[in-house]
């Protein structure tokens, strides 16, 4: 009888041990941060099977320094943005901060900044005066992109939406769009690659970029990520990445006409 009770007790202990392991595993899984982004050079892009870029390298370094488990994935921007809006422990980058987005996310910033450029195909006869453009020409941008916010505040209403910046640029150079709105950094990267585009107008303000996390993400993890970002700014890692991917010593160097 005692042996039977001992066997039952051992079985219960084993079940408890297994449950304990499952609880630890569940906690580990819950603590994992899912990082989602888009293909948008020089901020984030694929190279030799790895996601790299000005934003991606910074975010990865933050996670490594803070010893935070993470996954990183490239998706269409609208999908990546939706996941961070709706799923706990999901963060989207490189995300521009706007007043309209302020309450939507928990912000880890700054990852840097950029100006929004209005561009055209090189040689196009579209005028450079904003007053002659607004309301008369179509502008291509990405779904859920911060460019939509800026363009609408400037009075643009004829906007064409695409899943990624590559499609926007392809439509532009194939004369299927009059204009496109892209980051100043991306503009300079494309010009360096020989893409035949010209800046029409720069909107002036530097838009701050950030890691935007679902607001239900664990607060302790958010604090650690901000600590990691503060660390890479202090020791010059962020500045090194800016120079590596753009050749510039500061964001302001990338806001004038090429």
In a shared domain, residues 110 and 215: yes
Q: Helix crossing, 237-246 with 54-65: angle to 10°?
A: 150
User: Which positions of the chain have pLDDT values less than 70?
Assistant: 1-31, 249-258
pLDDT at residue number 22? 42
Residues 59 and 164 in one domain: no
Predicted pLDDT of residue 197 = 98
Q: What is the pTM of this model?
A: 0.81
Predicted pLDDT of residue 10: 52
Nearest to 170 by CA among 121, 214, 124, 130: 121
Tokens of 236: 């010059």
- Residues 171, 67 share a domain: no
**Which residue, 55, 153, 165, is CA-closest to 99?**
153
18 within a domain of the structure (yes/no): no
Q: Is residue 186 part of a domain?
A: yes
CA angle 59, 65, 66 (to 5 degrees): 90
Residues 133 and 164 in one domain: yes
Q: Can you give the residue range of the structural domain that contains 98?
A: 32-114+207-248
pLDDT of amino acid 207: 86
For residues 50, 44, 74 and 142, what is the CA-based torsion angle, rounded to 10 degrees? -160
User: Are 44 and 159 members of one domain?
Assistant: no
Domain total in the chain = 2
pLDDT tens, residue by residue, 93-132: 999 998 889 999 999 999 999 999 999 999 999 998 999 9
Flag whether 161 is in a domain: yes
Domain shared by 163 and 232, yes or no: no
Helix (H) or strand (E) holding 56: helix 54-65
Q: Spell out the residues 6+ positions from residue 111 whose beta carbon is closer than 8 angstroms to its own.
A: 54, 55, 58, 59, 93, 94, 209, 210, 211, 229, 238
Give the domain CATH number at 192: 3.40.190.10
Contacts of 188 by beta carbon, 8 Å cutoff, 6+ apart: 246, 254, 258
Q: Could you give the CA distance from residue 61 to residue 239 in angstroms, rounded to a whole number?
A: 13
Residues 81 and 125 in one domain: no
For residue 233, is it within any domain? yes
Instruction: Tell whether 79 and 105 lie within a shared domain.
Output: yes
Q: What share of the chain is helix, strand, coil (3-state, %, to 5)?
A: 45, 30, 30
| Overall residue count recorded for the chain in this entry | 258
Asked if residue 183 and residue 119 are part of one domain, the reply reads yes
Strand 159-162's sheet: what is its strand order? 70-74, 33-37, 90-96, 197-213, 106-121, 179-183, 139-142, 159-162
- The DSSP-derived string for 144-183 is T-HHHHHHHHTT---EEEESSHHHHHHHHHTTS-SEEEEE
């Amino acid at each position: 009888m005692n042996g039977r009770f001992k066997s039952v007790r051992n079985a219960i202990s084993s079940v408890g041990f297994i449950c304990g392991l499952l609880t630890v595993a569940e906690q580990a899984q819950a603590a994992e941060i899912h990082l989602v982004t888009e293909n948008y050079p020089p901020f984030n892009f694929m190279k030799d099977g790895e996601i790299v870029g000005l934003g991606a390298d910074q975010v990865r370094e933050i996670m490594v320094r803070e010893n935070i488990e993470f996954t990183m994935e490239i998706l269409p921007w609208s999908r990546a943005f939706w996941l961070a809006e709706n799923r706990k422990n999901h963060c989207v980058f490189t995300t521009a901060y706007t007043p309209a987005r302020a309450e939507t996310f928990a912000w880890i910033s700054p990852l840097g900044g950029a100006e929004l450029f209005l561009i055209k195909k090189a040689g196009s006869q579209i005028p450079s005066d904003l007053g002659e453009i607004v309301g008369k020409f179509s502008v291509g941008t990405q779904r859920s992109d911060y460019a939509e916010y800026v363009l609408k505040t400037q009075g643009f209403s004829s906007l064409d939406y695409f899943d990624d910046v590559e499609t926007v640029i392809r439509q532009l150079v194939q004369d299927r769009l009059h204009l496109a709105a892209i980051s100043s950094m991306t503009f300079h990267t494309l010009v360096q690659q020989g893409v035949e585009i010209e800046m029409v107008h720069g909107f002036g303000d530097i838009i701050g970029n950030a890691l935007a996390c679902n607001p239900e993400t664990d607060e302790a993890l958010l604090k650690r990520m901000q600590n990691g970002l503060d660390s890479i700014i202090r020791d010059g890692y962020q500045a090194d990445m800016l120079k590596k991917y753009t050749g510039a010593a500061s964001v302001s160097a990338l806001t004038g006409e090429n």
